[in-house]
Structure 1
Amino acid sequence: MKKIGFIGTGIMGRGMIRNLIKQGYAVYVYNRTRSKALPLTEEGAVWCDSPAECAKNKDVVITMVGYPKDVAEVYFETNGIFTTVKKGSYLIDMTTTSPKLSEKIYAEAAKRGVFALDAPVTGGDTGAKNGTLSILVGGDEKAFKDCLPLLQVMGKNIVYEGPAGAGQHTKMVNQIMIAGTVAGMCEAICYAQKSGLDLQRVLDGVSKGAAGSAQVDSLAPRILQGDFQPGFYIKHFIKDMRIADEESSSRGLHLNVLNEVLDMYLKLMADGEGNLGTQALVKYYDDDDPY
Structure 2
Amino acid sequence: MTDSKPRIAFIGLGIMGGPMAANLVKAGYAVTGYNRSRAKVDTLVEAGGAGADSIAEAVADADVIITIVPDSPDVEAVADGEDGIFAHAKSGAVWVDCSSIRPDVSVALAKQAAEKGIRAVDAPVSGGEAGAIEATLSIMVGGDADVVESVRPVLEAVGKTVVHVGPSGSGQTVKAANQLIVAGTIELVAEALVFLEAYGVDTAAAIEVLAGGLAGNRILDRKATSMVAREFTPGFRVDLHHKDMGIILAAAREAGVAIPLGAHTAQLMQSLRQLGHGDLDHSALLLLVEQLSGRSPSH
TM-score by length of 1: 0.97
How far apart are residue 257 of structure 1 and its match? Answer: 1.0
Greater CA drift, 35-44 or 260-269 = 35-44
Provide, for residues 223-280 of structure 1, a one-character-per-residue CA deviation record: whole Å limited to 9, x for no partner.
Answer: 1222111111111111111000010111122311111111111111112111100110
In structure 2, the residue matched to 1:273 is 277
The CA distance in 1 between the partners of 2:256 and 2:213, in whole Å, is 35
2:209 corresponds to 1:205:
yes
Which residue number corresponds to residue 237 of structure 1? Answer: 241
Determine if contact 1:68/1:101 at 8 Å carries over to the other structure: yes
Distance in 1 between the 2:287 and 2:160 partners?
Answer: 33
Provide the rounded CA distance (Å) in 2 between the counterparts of 1:225 and 1:279: 11
Amino acid across the alignment from 1:22: K
Decide which of 24, 45, 51 is 2:49's aligned counterpart: 45
Contact 2:33 2:51 in 1 (8 A): yes
Q: Aligned partners of 1:68, 1:183: CA distance in 2, in Å?
A: 26
Look up the equivalent residue of 2:78 and give its one-letter code: V
Does the aligned pair in 1 maintain the 2:10–2:66 contact within 8 Å? yes
Please name the residue that 2:163 is paired with. 159
1:214 equivalent among 202, 213, 218: 218
Instruction: Tell me the CA shift for residue 128 of structure 1.
Output: 0.5
Q: Percent identity, aligned pairs only?
A: 36
Secondary structure in 1 aligned to 2:214? coil
- The corresponding residue for 1:224 is 228
Q: Which moved more, 1:253-262 or 1:182-191?
A: 253-262
For 1:78-89, list aligned pairs within 5 A: 78-89=82-93
Q: 1:287 to 1:65 in 2, by over 3 A?
A: closer
Please list, as runs of the form range in 1=range in 2, the aligned pairs for 1:1-291 lying within 5 A after superposition: 1-287=5-291
- C-alpha distance in structure 1 between counterparts of 2:61 and 2:209, whole Å: 54
Distance of aligned partners of 1:287 and 1:143 in 2 relative to their CA distance in 1, 3 Å threshold: closer
Deviation >6 Å, runs of 4+: none
SS of match in other structure, 1:11? coil
Distance 2:62 2:201 in 1: 56
Partner SS for 2:120: strand
3-state DSSP of counterpart to 1:159: strand
3-state DSSP of counterpart to 1:281: helix
8 Å CA contact 2:86, 2:118 repeated in 1: no
Amino acid at match of 1:13: G
TM-score, normalised relative to structure 2: 0.94
> What is the distance in 2 between the residues matched to 1:288 and 1:186?
12
Post-superposition CA distance 1:171-211 (Å, at most 9, x none)? 11111111211111111111111111111111111111100
RMSD between aligned residues: 1.4
Structure 2: segments with no counterpart, 5+ residues: none
- In the TM superposition, residue 165 of structure 1 has moved relative to its aligned partner by 0.2
